[in-house]
């Protein structure tokens, strides 16, 4: 995918987003600019061929069923349906068909810089208001999401849905979380958009934008985020986030 340009400072980020409405775009940061926009359950292992869709879908259901069976005793609140289980599983690092996004470009930038990659990172902006290409499910679990007979595994395979998760955890609100639901979790989002816009290529950059974050700017940008109050404790407002925050302060010599 072609990049709109480089983000080397917070000022670059603000300039790149100037004129955008506050709820038009969803943002996603990736630590390596070469990473595809593919949900974890559909990602291929390095050096392996692309997995077959039917195999991935079967494994996804099996893994989620196993997670349900073995986690019930650890779940404090009763989860009502497969949507809630899917969000909960994603939150606890189970491979699913969900891809994480956020309304906050600063949170997305934080995730792009979180790990210590020796590579360029990238920031993506997805136009979430274009209903011609993305279906938007109800914002609340009590709405269409809960009452529809179409669970997450019964949606059309040629579609991508945008959905707001229920507040099952404090991280959801802290991260201003949103998800895309990929009914074909093997297909890269770039490919999905390309196939949907054959004949109208000018729409592609309106649906999905990307900026490169040069690897030599990672440290400075992360320090800028820290000064703005974006760190482990604000993105992960729990004991794990607090512990990781102090670990980073020790490692960087800023404690």
Domain contains 71:
yes
Domain contains 243:
yes
Residues 6 or more apart in contact with residue 10 via CB below 8 angstroms: 221, 224, 225, 228
Question: Of the given ranges (73-87, 107-121, 125-139), which has the lowest mean pLDDT?
Answer: 125-139
How many domains is the chain built from?
1
pLDDT at residue 253 greater than cutoff 70: no
Confidence grade of residue 31 (pLDDT, cut at 50, 70, 90)? very high
Domain contains 4:
no
Domain contains 143:
yes
Structure tokens at 64: 């989620």
Mean pLDDT calculated for residue range 134-138: 65
Domain contains 36:
yes
pLDDT for position 147: 47
pLDDT at residue 19 greater than cutoff 60: yes
pLDDT at residue 225 greater than cutoff 80: yes
3-class DSSP string for the chain: CCCCCECCCHHHHHHHHCCCCCCCEEEEEECCCCCCCCCHHHCCCCCCCCCCHHHHHHHHHHHHHHHHHHHHHHCCCCCCCHHHHHHHHHHCCCCCCEEEEECCHHHHHHHHHCCCCCCCEEEEEEECCCCCCCEECCCCCCCHHHHCCCCCCCCCCCCEEEECCCCCCHHHHHCCEEEEEECCCCCCHHHHHHHHCCCCHHHHHHHEEEEEECHHHHHHHHHHHHHCCCCHHHHCCCHHHHHHHHHHHHHHCCC
pLDDT at residue 106 greater than cutoff 80: yes
Domain contains 2:
no
pLDDT averaged over the chain? 85
pLDDT for position 66: 95
Mean pLDDT calculated for residue range 31-60: 90
Domain residue limits at 159:
10-252
Domain contains 1:
no
Domain contains 161:
yes
């Amino acid at each position: 995918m072609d990049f709109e340009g480089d983000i080397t400072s917070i000022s670059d980020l603000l300039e790149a987003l100037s004129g955008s409405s506050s709820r038009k775009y969803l943002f996603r940061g990736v630590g390596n600019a070469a990473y595809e926009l593919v949900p974890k359950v559909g990602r291929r292992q390095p050096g392996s061929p692309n997995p077959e869709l039917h195999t991935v879908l079967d494994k996804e259901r099996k893994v989620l069923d196993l997670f349900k069976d073995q986690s019930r005793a650890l779940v404090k609140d009763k989860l009502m349906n497969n949507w809630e289980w899917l969000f909960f599983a994603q939150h606890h690092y189970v491979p699913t068909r969900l891809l994480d996004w956020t309304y906050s470009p600063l949170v997305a930038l934080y995730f792009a810089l979180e790990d210590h990659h020796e590579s360029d990172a990238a920031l993506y902006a997805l136009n979430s208001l274009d209903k011609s290409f993305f279906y938007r499910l109800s914002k609340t679990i009590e709405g269409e999401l809960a009452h529809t007979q179409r669970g997450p595994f019964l949606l059309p395979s040629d579609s991508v849905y945008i959905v707001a998760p229920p507040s099952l955890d404090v991280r959801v609100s802290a991260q201003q979380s949103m998800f895309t639901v990929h009914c074909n979790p093997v297909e890269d989002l770039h490919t999905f958009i390309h196939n949907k816009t054959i004949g109208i290529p000018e729409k592609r950059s309106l649906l999905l934008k990307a900026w490169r974050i040069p690897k030599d700017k990672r440290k400075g940008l992360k320090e800028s985020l820290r000064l703005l109050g974006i760190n482990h404790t604000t993105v992960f407002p729990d004991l794990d986030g607090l512990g990781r925050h102090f670990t980073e302060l020790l490692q960087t010599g800023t404690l």
